[in-house]
Amino acid sequence: MYHLILYILIIGAGTLGELCVTRAMKVVGEVKDFRPAAIVRVFARAVRVPWMWAGIALMATAFFSLLTVLTTQNVSLVVPVTALNYGAGALGGRLILGEKVSARRWVGVMVVCVGVAVVVLGGR
């Protein structure tokens, strides 16, 4: 049960963190100038967007959950299970950010999920 909670945190907090950072960057705007001074200006705008801080906190939660689960589980199991982020990301992009997700992309997400199931069920 403890590991399941960690996996949920890795996938859930990681995906929500990525969605928050995406939303923040939509507020900041597209990066078009890659000179050092321009990058500093983009960074300064980004740190003033609350979505960025929420995303960083959620991604940190996912990262430390990953570190914790790696102390007791094999990486050959952990990494494939965390690939469920692809499915969660596509779903979150569609439902939360209103992105259009093509049928081809959904098929790809399902292939990843089936692969995770094979890894998880095959190890027992």
Encode pLDDT of 26-60 as tens digits.
Answer: 999 999 999 999 999 999 999 999 999 999 999 99
Binning pLDDT at 50, 70 and 90, where does residue 123 land? low
Nearest 5°: CA angle at 105, between 102 and 108?
155
Number of domains in the chain: 1
Structural domain range at position 54? 2-122
Q: What is the C-alpha to C-alpha distance for residues 23 and 28, in angstroms, rounded to an integer? A: 9
Q: What is the pLDDT of residues 60-113, one digit of tens each?
A: 999 999 999 999 999 988 998 898 999 999 999 999 999 999 999 999 999 999
Question: b/e per residue, 24-55, with b = 16+ CB within 10 A?
Answer: bbeebeeeeeeeeeeeeebeeebeebebbebb
Binning pLDDT at 50, 70 and 90, where does residue 122 land? confident
User: Tokens for 14?
Assistant: 């990681």
